[in-house]
Chains A and B, each alone.
Chain A
Amino acid sequence: MAQMWITMGPQHPMTHGLWTLRVKVDGETVVDAKAELGYIHRGVEKISESRDFLQITPYCDRLCYVSAMTWANSYIYAAEDLLEVQVPERAEYIRLISAECQRIASHLMWLGAYGPDVGNLTIMTWALRDRELFLDLLQELGGSRMHYNYPRIGGVKRDIPIGFADRLKAKVQMFEHRIKEYEMLLDESTIFLVRLQGVGYTKAEEMVDAGVTGPNLRAAGVNYDVRWAHPYSVYDEVDWEPAVEKPTSIKGADCYDRYRARMFEMRQSCRMILDAIDKIPGGANNHYANDDEMIIAKAPTRAPEGATGFSNYECTRGSSQFYIKGGGEGRGKKPYRLSIRSPMFITIPYIADTMIGYKIADIPAIMGSFDPCIGETDR
C-alpha cells in the first residue's frame, strides 16, 4: 500500500493534549513523524511581563494544569532567587509535601490515561479515583483541586489545616496498598506486557543529547534527578531515593521501563511525604496564622534592573527551569523577562523520532509512556 500521511490531529482522544502528530505510514509501519505544537500557546511569558511577582503565581499554575503545584513552586524558587528571600523551614517542608502530593496525582492521571490508550479501561477508574485522595488533600491546602495559587514568595499562603496531618498519613498509607493492586492488574497481565515491552526503545545517550529529563531519562538508567543532584528545598533531609530503572536491553529503555520508573517514583513520593510530615518543624498539628513568620518571610516586591533569578526544579515530567530578569515595568515590580524551560517541549520532538519503525498501534503506547502534557509545552 502506498505511503500516506495520517494526521493525529489536534482533536483526537489519545494525544494527551492539544497538538498534532503527523505520521507517515507504510501499511501499518510508521516511517516518519512530525509534531506540530502551539495550539495551546497562551503567551504566559509575555503576560508575565505586565504582572507583579505575586500575580504571576496563578498563571504558573496553569502551565501544566495536571501538575500545577510543581510549576508554581518552580516559579517561586526563581522569584525567591531574584528577590533574595530566605524561606522558613516549615514552609519548605509544606512545599515539599504539596509538591509530592501533586507528583503522585499527576502520575496517577498519567496512569489513568495510559490504561485506555492500551485498552485497559479498568485502570482508568481506579487511578482517577485514587487521584481523588490527593486532590482532596490539595484542596484542603490550596482551596481548589487544580489551580491552587498556594506558594508565595517567601513561603506559602497558609499553614496546613488542623487535622490535615492525620488525613495525609491515612490517605498515603491507603494509597500504598493501591499501588500493589495496580501492579497486580498491569504487571501481571500478559497482554499489557506484550504491548509495552519491546516498544519505543530510547537510548540513554540519545536522550541526554536531546535534553530529555525526568522519569523518561531515569527509565534508561541515567541517575539524574534534580532533587538528588542539585537538591533544593529540604529534599536532602527527607528519606528517599531517585527512581532509576536500568533497562535490560542494550537498545535502551522501552515503554515498560518508563512505566516502572513512574510507579516506583510514586512509591518514593509516598515515602517522602510520610517522612516529611513527621519531621516538619513546628509540629504537624499546629496551625500558624497566615502572616506568621513560621510559614512566610517578608519579601521585597521590587527587583532592580540587572538582577536575575534562576531555578532548576524537578517537575513531574522533567526538569523545569525559570529564568527571570528584573527591572521591568513599575520600577521593577514586574519582571523584565520571564523565560520558561519546559521539559515536555524538549521531549516531544524526541518522541516523534522514537516512533519511527513501529506500528500505528504502538503510537499510543509510546506516546502515553512519555506522559506528554501540552499545557507546559506550549505555555
Chain B
Amino acid sequence: MPAHPRAKPNFRNLFWYPFKMTMITALRTFPIIGKRFTWGYHNKLHPEVVDDDSKVRAKNGRWNDVSKHEYTADREGSDLVPTIWRPQTILYPYERLEDMEPWLFVPGNYNGRIGVIWETCTACKLCVTVCPNDCLHMTTELRVDVLDDASGEWEGLGAELEVGRPAAVEIAGVSAVGDGFDLVTAHEAPPEQWRFGEVLDLSGDSARIRWNDSGEEQMVATDILRPADDQIVSGRIDIGRCMFCGLCMEACNFTSFFMTNEYDGMSGFTREDLWFDASRTRVLPGVHQEAVDAELAKRANKERTKREKKAAKAAKAVEGSA
C-alpha cells in the first residue's frame, strides 16, 4: 500500500492538519455540536450491541437500566447532558461495568474470583490435579453437616450423636443472614454460627460436652445439640498463586467449582490473607442456597432409601428367622 497521499512535510501539515484533527476531537466531546463531527464512532448509537440476554439480565437498577441504554463506543449516547452526568469512564466504585455492559460478565464466561460450594464438593481432587500452579489444597474442616441441621421434611435423617465424636451447639443470636450482618457486602467472614465441643458422656436428654474453645466441661441438653463432623471436605485456594486460568472450573464435574463474576475484594496485606478458605470462596447466597438445597435433597433421599432398605432387610431377617 502506498504511503498516505498527504504524507509530506509541508506547511499545511505542520500547522493545519494536526490542529484541525485535535480541534475536531475536542468539539466532538460536546453534546450538541459534537454530532456534526461524527464519522461513525463518537455519539453514534449502536443498538445492535445490546443483545436480548443482556437486556434481561440488566433490567433492575433504576439508574443503570441497560435495557434503556443505547450503546455507543464512548458510553455517551443515552443521556441528556452527557458531559455533566455521565463521564466516559465507568466511575468505579460508584458504577460497575457489569451493570453497564452485562455481556462482558456472563456467569461462567468470566474468569473472576473462585467460588466453591463446599457442601456439594465430593473431594474428587480433579481441580487440584489440573491446576498448573498448585494453588488448591483440600483439607477437612469441623462443621455441622447440612443434613444434620436440616428441619422440615429432611429432619432426622442425619447422623446420631455419639460419644467421642464432636457436637455443636448453635450460638444464640447468630444466623447466616440476619442481625444486620449482610452476607453480600460484608468485609469479613460471617460470625461463627456453631460452638463446637466433644461429647464425653451421653445419657438421656443431656450430654456432657467438653468445649473446644475453653476446655471446660458442661452439661448440655440433647435437643439443642447437633452432631458435627470433622471430616467435612473443605479446602483452601491460594489466590496469590492462582492465575485465573479457569482450568479448575472446567475440571469440576459436580458443578461445585465456579469462577464468579467478581474481580475485586480479593486483596490482603499479607500472603496469608490471600489463602482463601471456605468463607472467602463463598458464592451468591441465592446460588448457594439452591445448590445446597439440591444436595440436601439428594443426601436425604439417599439416606431415606438406605434406611428403608435396612428396615426391609431387618424385616426380612426377622421374617426369615421367625
Contacts and interface: CB of A to CB of B under 8 A. Distances in A.
B10 A190 contact: yes
Given A55-B247, A58-B132, A190 B13 contact: yes
B318 interface: no
B132 A59 contact: yes
Contacts of A59: 132
B6 interface: yes
B103 A177 contact: no
Nearest to A191: B14
Nearest to A247: B3
Contacts of B1: 243, 245, 260, 264
Given A163-B49, A188-B6, A189-B13, 18 more contacts: A52-B130, A55-B132, A122-B25, A149-B245, A166-B48, A170-B46, A173-B40, A174-B41, A177-B39, A181-B21, A181-B39, A183-B4, A185-B17, A185-B21, A188-B17, A197-B9, A245-B1, A260-B1
Chain A interface helix/strand/loop/mixed? helix
A162 interface: yes
B250 to A, nearest CB: 8
18 contacts: A58-B245, A139-B104, A140-B103, A149-B111, A149-B245, A157-B246, A163-B49, A163-B51, A166-B51, A167-B51, A171-B49, A174-B41, A174-B46, A185-B18, A189-B17, A190-B10, A193-B7, A245-B1
A190 to B, nearest CB: 4
Interface string A180-220: 11011101111101100100000000000000000000000
Interface of A: 51-52, 54-59, 62, 122, 126, 129, 133, 136, 139-140, 142-144, 147, 149, 157-158, 161-163, 166-167, 170-171, 173-174, 177-178, 180-181, 183-185, 187-191, 193-194, 197, 243, 245, 256, 260, 264
Interface string B1-41: 10110111111011001100110010000000000000111
A241 to B, nearest CB: 9
Interface of B: 1, 3-4, 6-11, 13-14, 17-18, 21-22, 25, 39-41, 44, 46, 48-54, 73-74, 101, 103-104, 106, 109-111, 130-132, 243-247, 250, 259
B40 A161 contact: no
Contact of A54 (B53, B74, B110, B247): B247
A179 to B, nearest CB: 11
A260 B22 CA distance: 21
A144 B51 contact: no
A223 to B, nearest CB: 13
Given A187-B6, A188-B7, A143 B103 contact: no
